[in-house]
């Protein structure tokens, strides 16, 4: 195979330095008026989008690196005790690689099952499984999240329970729930649709 040449400018567009990362809670506050505290209630303290497919429109769309279809990369940072609430990734596989700290990865409708991840441990969660995580160490923990999109649509719809949506609406207003839905965060986990 013949090699290709990449200019330094092209490689710069494919590079992200940690010091330049911006959490998506800041971008969504600036863009949609979503209170950072609302996103923190659902996700890790900071979620730094790294790379998304070119046509991705979800919560990490502002990622600086646009990649090929099928892969979404982000880095989460959680102080001790912080993590993500129980949620479902409906059609994507969510993979966690622990970089620093120790995390309890829990799953099941009530989070009744769990495993621990330490530095350099990895866990892959299939679509449709209720899951969450929590930093159980006494230091800031970081997880590299690799989301594998398996459909033609380069989206990652996630769902929390209707109760969580009610709490967000009560504390931050119904417009916040609407804005969250616009970036792929829904509040219908566990709600079954019954055909008439």
Determine, yes or no, domain membership for 7.
no
Q: Which helix (H) or strand (E) holds 95?
A: strand 92-100
CA distances to 55, 99, 119, 133, 187 from 142, rounded to whole Å, are 27, 5, 9, 11, 26
Could you give the number of structural domains in the chain? 1
- The whole-number pLDDT of residue 193 equals 45
Determine, yes or no, domain membership for 109.
yes
CATH number of the domain where residue 83 is located: 2.60.120.10
Q: What is the pLDDT of residues 160-182, one digit of tens each?
A: 989 999 999 999 999 999 999 99
Determine, yes or no, domain membership for 193.
no
Beta partners for residue 50, in sequence order: none
Determine, yes or no, domain membership for 92.
yes
Determine the Cα–Cα distance for residues 81 and 74; give it in Å rounded to an integer: 20
Tell me if 35 sits within 8 A of 176, measured CB to CB.
yes
Determine, yes or no, domain membership for 12.
no
pLDDT at 195 over 50: no
Q: What is the mean pLDDT of the chain?
A: 93
Kindly give, in sequence order, each residue whose CB lies less than 8 Å from that of residue 157, ignoring residues fewer than 6 positions away: 58, 89, 90, 91, 184, 186
Determine, yes or no, domain membership for 2.
no
pLDDT at 135 over 80: yes
Determine, yes or no, domain membership for 106.
yes
DSSP structure string for 149-166? E-SSS----EE--HHHHH
pLDDT band at 190 (very low <50, low <70, confident <90, very high): confident
Q: What is the pLDDT of residues 141-161, one digit of tens each?
A: 999 999 999 888 888 999 998
Kindly give, in sequence order, each residue whose CB lies less than 8 Å from that of residue 150, ignoring residues fewer than 6 positions away: 70, 91, 92, 93, 127
Which structural domain, as residue segments, surrounds residue 26?
21-186
- The whole-number pLDDT of residue 196 equals 38
Tell me if 74 sits within 8 A of 63, measured CB to CB.
yes
Tell me if 116 sits within 8 A of 103, measured CB to CB.
yes
Determine the Cα–Cα distance for residues 101 and 110; give it in Å rounded to an integer: 24
pLDDT at 116 over 80: yes
The arithmetic mean of pLDDT across residues 35-48, rounded, is 96
Determine, yes or no, domain membership for 195.
no
Beta partners for residue 87, in sequence order: 131
Smallest CA-to-CA distance from 117 within 131, 109, 46 is with: 131
pLDDT at 124 over 80: yes
Q: What is the pLDDT of residues 51-106, one digit of tens each?
A: 999 999 889 999 999 999 999 999 999 999 999 999 999 999 999 999 999 999 99
- The whole-number pLDDT of residue 192 equals 60
The arithmetic mean of pLDDT across residues 17-40, rounded, is 94
């Amino acid at each position: 195979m013949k090699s290709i040449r990449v200019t330094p400018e092209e490689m710069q567009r494919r590079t992200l330095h940690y010091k330049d990362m911006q959490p998506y809670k800041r971008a969504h506050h600036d863009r949609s008026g979503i209170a950072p505290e609302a996103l923190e209630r659902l996700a890790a303290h900071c979620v730094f989008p790294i790379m998304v497919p070119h046509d991705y429109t979800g919560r990490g769309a502002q990622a600086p690196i646009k990649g090929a279809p099928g892969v979404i990369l982000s880095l989460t940072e959680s102080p001790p005790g912080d993590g993500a609430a129980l949620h479902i990734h409906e059609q994507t596989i969510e993979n966690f690689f622990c970089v620093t700290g120790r995390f309890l990865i829990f799953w099941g409708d009530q989070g009744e099952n769990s495993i621990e991840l330490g530095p350099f441990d990895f866990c892959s969660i299939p679509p449709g499984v209720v899951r969450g995580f929590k930093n159980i160490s006494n230091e800031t923990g970081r997880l590299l999240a690799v989301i594998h999109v398996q459909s033609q649509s380069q989206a990652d719809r996630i769902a929390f329970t209707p109760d969580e949506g009610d709490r967000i609406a009560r504390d931050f207003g119904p417009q916040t729930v609407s804005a969250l839905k616009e970036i792929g965060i829904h509040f219908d986990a566990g709600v079954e649709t019954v055909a008439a």
